[in-house]
Amino acid sequence: MRFDEFPVNTLMDITARPPLVFVRGAGSWLWDHNGKRYLDFVQGWAVNCLGHSPSVIADALAGQSRKLITPSPAFYNEPSMQLARRIVEHSCFQKVFFANSGAEANEGAIKLARKWGALNKGGAYEIITFQDSFHGRTLATMSASGKPGFQERFEPKVPGFPKARLNDLASVERLITGNTVAVMLEPIQGEAGVITAADAFLRDLRELTRQHKLLLVVDEIQTGVGRTGMLWGYEHAGIAPDIMTLGKMLGGGVPLAALVATQAVSCFEHGDQGGTFNGNPLMAAVGSAVMDAVLAPSFLEGVTTRGTYLMKGLSELSARHGLGEVRGRGLLVALDLKIDIASTVTEIALEAGLLLNAPRPHLLRFMPALNVSQEEIDTMLAMLDDALRQTLQG
Ligand SMILES: *Cc1c(COP(=O)(O)O)cnc(C)c1O
């Protein structure tokens, strides 16, 4: 089928997409409607932790779909409890509420913090978030986000999200008032361009929030489930937050997210929270298959090893082409190009059969499958080398 034969105009035009239709995926590779193959370092936007269409996910979906797809959230189902058990057994939290997207999990976190404030802090409701942060595209999560360009859209915003500066404790302290109930942040700001919250900053923030009896909420939608080489991003700092949100890789490609909290903070009462598809067994079964793969012996060490290998290769490229910093953790990595050529580089790479992401005009972000091979990293580096040479010469 030719591209212009697809009913493209039936979709709302919400973003600029290349004239390609992807029809098949396997591991680190995707195929378009012409049968052309692409090496994928976007992976559904840091979603497909085990690559495209891995058999563990196909098997979980097929097996569970024949047993029970959804009994209604008004009843218990075993896969949701099994997945919740895996999350709490390997984290500092005790309670889980499942959602269908990251933004929905964050909405839940905001509601839980506000509920806790109503019960424990005289109605305090403000949640301090950070400049350049990204928490989703619902009204409340856009309001919580510090993404440039979000501020003027869809006014009026949901109130109660003053913005501090990442890695600047005084900027947080200045915003604390009697109305403050929580501080919420990404351990690594992904959409902002892979900006890490320093371990010392996270420890200071935990201390500060404890002193002021505030909740610490970590948005681990991009960093959770092994992306950084540890199961959760907060573990690098050795802290124990009160609330965590998960999404993206938790489902390995299917819509699954979670709001996770300590026992002490889990104060929802009947009627406060819910959702038709939340905790459905089909998606939960996939979540358990993903968690089992990520928790398998030496899987996370492999993420760290390949992340280091990727960063080393990118640093060599950067030196060769006179570019900027390489930063990140595990397999969430960015290359600062120093000049605004990222979209040209991604266009040339796409043409050559490599999918890359440019979250900023001067920045490339790499978020491959966690089981990407060293050979695939080498292939990507060689293709990127070519794309950079063409861009800088052209
Ligand atoms: C992707 C992302 C979200 C939003 O998740 P959706 O599933 O797109 O709603 C929220 N926070 C962070 C840190 C993210 O990376």
Percent residues over pLDDT 70 in the chain: 100
Please report the pLDDT score of residue 270 as a whole number.
97
Distance CA 106, CA 98 (A): 11
**Which fold is adopted by the domain 3-43+301-393?**
Aspartate Aminotransferase, domain 1 (3.90.1150)
Tokens found for residue 275 = 């959702």
Residue to mutate, 43, 110, 222, ligand 1, most ligand atoms under 8 Å from C-beta: 222
Count of beta carbons in the 10 Å neighbourhood of residue 263: 10
Count of beta carbons in the 10 Å neighbourhood of residue 276: 9
Where do the structural domains in the chain lie, given as residue ranges?
3-43+301-393, 55-294
CB of 220 closer than 6 angstroms to any ligand 1 atom: no
C-alpha 110 – ligand 1 centre gap (Å): 14
Tokens found for residue 232 = 């959760």
**Which fold is adopted by the domain 55-294?**
Aspartate Aminotransferase; domain 2 (3.40.640)
CB of 135 closer than 6 angstroms to any ligand 1 atom: yes
User: pLDDT, tens digit, for every residue of 40-94?
Assistant: 999 999 999 999 999 999 999 999 999 999 999 999 999 999 999 999 999 999 9
CB 333 within 8 A of CB 311: yes
C-alpha 134 – ligand 1 centre gap (Å): 7
| Distance, C-alpha 72 to centroid of its chain | 27
pLDDT of residue 394 exceeding 80: no
CB of 132 closer than 6 angstroms to any ligand 1 atom: no
Q: Please give the residue that has the higher pLDDT: either 393 or 243.
A: 243
C-alpha 221 – ligand 1 centre gap (Å): 6
Distance CA 253, CA 222 (A): 13
Residue with tokens 């358990």, as numbered in its chain = 288
